[in-house]
Chain A
Amino acid sequence: MTHSLPQTEGLDESVLVERAKSGETAAFTELVRRYDKKIFRMAKQITQSDEDAEDVLQEALFKAYKHLDDFQGNSKFYTWIVRIAVNEALMKLRKRKSDRTVSLDEEIDTGEETVTREIAVWDGDPEQRYSQEELRVILDNAIQSLKPSFRTVFVLRDVEELSTEETADTLGLSIPAVKSRLLRARLELREKLTRMFKKKGEDAFAYL
């Protein structure tokens, strides 16, 4: 276990960036410690593997250190480092044999009509009906079933809450491509979750 030096704790991010740039290792580690959990979670959601997510985190943090001088400070540090981590995560996916087809800019049919077959209201609030753990398994399974190109856009936009522009920039996609993938991802997830959460039987159309 390593400890950050007391004088780096609670410091403003811009101060930490400056100190890190001037070569203060403790300032850099304090800086990345603030985001490592978020980066790990994002990497895990894209790669769907603890092991790959650990590699991604480690490689992304070291790359950030090596390229710290490129960080201009006109975007948030998190946006900058998450971009590095997403690229590492995508490289992981591409390296996997089973995912050889991973291409983010392939032409894809985003046909919305095909993913709106399940039209039923939900039976109460899933956050009340399921434990945190049960809910996490359901949500992870649904995300896992998306194609990587939809999954990645969804994770960046709706989980990490990057803007459309930041997501497009990070993934090297056009803004319309981000928008169409996000729509498809949202609709697919809605479809899958509705299958789990819908009211069963006669109540299914209780809204009519």
Chain B
Amino acid sequence: MLTCKDLLSELNTFLDDTADPNLRQELQRHVNECPNCWVIVDTTQKTLKVYKGMQAQEIPPGIESRVMKALERKIAADKASSGA
């Protein structure tokens, strides 16, 4: 029988579905029978879901154009010095 500690140490393989089928079955059985581990699995899954669902934050105004301008300037300088 698996313990809560086993579930915790295998949580990633369980969540990422990388556990081998036998282990996965054992883990699933434990989760079905242990209310605490069920909550841990459920809330960790939800944690990953909210982070993955987070929309890419816009680059603050000005930064993108500033960076691209600086990049083009540096490239031009680099080309001028290596071409000389």
Task: Write the residues of chain A forming the contact surface with B, with a CB cutoff of 8 angstroms.
Answer: 1-2, 23, 25, 28-29, 32-33, 36-38, 40-41, 44, 50, 54, 57-58, 61-62, 65-66, 112-113, 116, 119-122, 126-127, 132, 135-136, 139, 158-159, 161, 179, 182-183, 186-187, 189-190, 193-194, 197, 207-208
Q: Is the CB of A186 within 8 A of B12?
A: yes
Q: Is the CB of B63 within 8 A of A40?
A: yes
Q: Is the CB of A2 within 8 A of B58?
A: no
Q: Is the CB of B44 within 8 A of A186?
A: yes
Q: Is the CB of A190 within 8 A of B40?
A: yes
Q: A186-B15, A190-B47 given; name 20 further pairs at CB < 8 Å.
A: A25-B76, A25-B79, A37-B58, A38-B56, A41-B57, A50-B63, A54-B63, A58-B67, A61-B71, A62-B71, A65-B74, A65-B78, A112-B8, A119-B36, A127-B53, A135-B54, A139-B54, A193-B46, A194-B43, A207-B39
* C-alpha gap A30/B34 in the complex (Å): 52
By beta carbon, the residue of chain B nearest A183 is B12
Q: Is the CB of A190 within 8 A of B68?
A: no
* C-alpha gap A187/B39 in the complex (Å): 12
A187: B residues at CB distance < 8 A? 8, 11, 44
* C-alpha gap A72/B63 in the complex (Å): 30
Would A50 and B60 be within 8 Å (CB), given that A121-B42, A193-B43, A208-B35 are in contact? yes
Would A113 and B8 be within 8 Å (CB), given that A32-B71, A132-B55 are in contact? yes
Would A159 and B12 be within 8 Å (CB), given that A2-B65, A2-B69 are in contact? no
B23 at the interface (CB under 8 A from A): no
* C-alpha gap A132/B39 in the complex (Å): 25
B5: A residues at CB distance < 8 A? 112-113
By beta carbon, the residue of chain B nearest A33 is B68
Which of B8, B46, B51, B76 interacts with A139 by CB under 8 Å?
B51
By beta carbon, the residue of chain B nearest A126 is B50
Would A37 and B71 be within 8 Å (CB), given that A132-B55, A186-B12 are in contact? no
B72 at the interface (CB under 8 A from A): yes
| CB of A68 to closest CB in B, whole Å | 11
| CB of B53 to closest CB in A, whole Å | 6
| CB of B83 to closest CB in A, whole Å | 10
| CB of B41 to closest CB in A, whole Å | 10
B51: A residues at CB distance < 8 A? 139, 158-159, 189
Would A61 and B67 be within 8 Å (CB), given that A29-B72, A116-B8, A207-B35 are in contact? yes
By beta carbon, the residue of chain B nearest A135 is B50
* C-alpha gap A190/B36 in the complex (Å): 14
